Copies of this chain bind each other. A is one copy, B any other.
Amino acid sequence: MNHSLSIEDDIDGDTLHEECGVFGILGHPDAATLTALGLHALQHRGQEAAGIVSFDGQRFHSERRMGLVGDHYTDPATLARLPGDRSIGHVRYSTTGETILRNVQPLFAELEVGGIAIAHNGNFTNGLTMRRQLIADGAICQSTSDTEVVLHLIARSKHPSSSDRFIDAIRQMEGGYSMLAMTRTKLIAARDPIGIRPLVMGELDGKPIFCSETCALDIIGAKYIRDVENGEVIICEIQPDGSITVDARKPEVSQPERLCLFEYVYFARPDSVVGGRNVYVARKNMGINLAKEAPVKADVVVPVPDGGTPAAIGYAQASGIPFELGIIRNHYVGRTFIEPTQQIRAFGVKLKHSANRAIIEGKRVVLVDDSIVRGTTSVKIVQMIRDAGAREVHIRVASPMIYHPDFYGIDTPDADKLLANQYTSLKAMCDFIGADSLEFLSIDGLYRAVGGAPRDNAQPQFTDHYFTGDYPTRLLDRESTSNVRKLSVLASNG
């Protein structure tokens, strides 16, 4: 099944990947359908697998599948297997743990105090450390997912209440997490102490909803209430009379929020409002600031679709250079290329993008991209633009250079594969890519685009460790081992 995604190595391989989106609702008669729609709106956060767990008052029901939400969760048969007025769901791109079915979330456990399902966006920096400790203590891990560690901690907690057990468990974990849990009567939402990953609260027909981004509220016409705060745990519970109580707690000592900047740069959907800021506007601002920081004489501004489009619009507006679709995207690529031959694989970027010669030929082109990771795609795109007759090709990147790996839920290549670590000068990078000029947005330019103010170096408003190396938490697994991913000795295929 992984094979069907292999062309991505060439095409989307030179981007970063987020691992998940979550959605949960309590007390609504159409819980599973609304969850499916919410996950569909969050599909950009993970396309490898999707799962929903519902509870119908008597039993929990679970459906977990490889593939898109629309591939499985829209037909009546599947939804009929998810009865009940409460459910949580998850879309997944894998960072830790191969994407095999038993890793697909939500994960479920039957506890002495009743069943519990959990869904998680983010990554723990002490996941392997905790897993080792649990195994030494007789736990059996079925998945290779870090999320299962939380389930074991819940199961082993001595608290009588499931919500106290949940809090007990997450207090032992470090890293980035936006997490939902569902018990027989409760829907629980939690964000890590500095709020690296987003999580918002909404309501529909008076029933509480939690989801990764506001776009999942918009699709079902739900109202945005507020962001779950960093370090906050919100416990919604259906009472015997059918009413729903909401109990918001901050079990951890409070720290300032530091949302991940890459949510703005690349991950979140342009129409989402993350941390109170519209993502499209933030991206357009990145382009505007980029035009100011790195102007160039040119004839056309061409976005690298689709990520670069908002910044390119901003760049064009600020520079006065016309915005044109000089690269056409083939929408029929992506999930579909099965085990391509080496020969077809070699076509790489051309399977997805083609130059629009009439716009490019004889022109000085400003190519605007959202970010550069390894740079391999940039090389191919510049070549394609040159082949189409461009007179000059200037690359403008709407984010800073990436030097460091992420450990909070973004799938980054090894540090030595990053373009920024392979060349010591901008000039050398530009030569590698084959452009006439190459410029990146500054850290302050990015902070201003998102939050209006430059970086507060004493207490940064966001986390930006991939650019700066300033990790906002301890990296326990990393400190304790040099080869942390090799724990599992079962190469299970079924």
Contacts and interface: CB of A to CB of B under 8 A. Distances in A.
A36 B351 CA distance: 11
Contacts of A240: none
Interface stretch (A122-130, A196-204, A268-276): A268-276
A138 B115 contact: no
Contacts of A341: 33, 74-76, 79
A270 B494 contact: no
Interface string A73-110: 01111010100000000000000000001100000111
Nearest to A340: B74
Contacts of A75: 338-341
Given A40-B333, A337-B70, A59 B489 contact: yes
Contacts of A148: 140
B215 A494 contact: no
A41 interface: yes
Contact of A350 (B140, B219, B310, B325): B219
Contact of A135 (B30, B79, B111, B218): B111
Interface stretch (A61-69, A245-253, A391-399): A61-69
Contact of A64 (B62, B491, B494): B494
A494 B71 CA distance: 14
A356 B213 CA distance: 13
Total identical chains: 4
Contact of A331 (B155, B215, B306, B309): B306
A490 B62 contact: yes
Given A33-B341, A68-B332, A494-B64, A273 B358 contact: yes
A19 to B, nearest CB: 16
A218 to B, nearest CB: 6
A322 B323 CA distance: 11
Contacts of A357: 218, 271, 273, 278
Interface string A400-440: 00000000000000000000000000000000000000000
Interface range on chain A (Cβ under 8 Å from partner): 35 or more
B493 A336 contact: no
Interface in A471-494: 487-494
Contacts of A310: 325
A328 interface: yes
Contact of A280 (B58, B63, B109, B356): B356
Nearest to A309: B325
Nearest to A71: B336
A313 B312 CA distance: 13
A281 B358 CA distance: 7
A330 B218 contact: no
A198 to B, nearest CB: 16
B7 A74 contact: yes
Contacts of A338: 70-72, 74-75
A71 to B, nearest CB: 5
Given A155-B140, A280-B325, A339 B74 contact: yes
Contacts of A108: 490, 492
A37 interface: yes
Q: Interface centre among A219, A271, A336, by most B CB within 10 Å? A: A271
30 contacts: A33-B341, A41-B330, A41-B354, A60-B490, A62-B491, A62-B494, A69-B332, A70-B336, A70-B338, A74-B338, A74-B339, A74-B344, A76-B339, A76-B341, A81-B491, A111-B135, A114-B489, A138-B155, A138-B156, A139-B140, A140-B142, A140-B155, A142-B142, A269-B328, A271-B356, A273-B358, A278-B357, A280-B325, A306-B331, A309-B325
- Give 8 nearest A-B pairs by CB, closest first: A278-B358, A138-B156, A70-B336, A74-B340, A43-B332, A271-B356, A75-B339, A62-B492
Given A61-B490, A269-B354, 13 more contacts: A60-B489, A67-B336, A74-B344, A76-B341, A81-B491, A139-B140, A140-B148, A140-B151, A218-B354, A218-B357, A278-B359, A313-B324, A317-B322
Interface of A: 7, 30, 33, 36-37, 40-41, 43-44, 47, 51, 58-65, 67-72, 74-77, 79, 81, 101-102, 108-112, 114-115, 135-136, 138-142, 148, 151-152, 155-157, 215, 218-220, 269-271, 273, 278, 280-281, 306, 309-310, 313, 317, 322-325, 328, 330-334, 336-341, 343-344, 347, 350-351, 354-359, 487-494
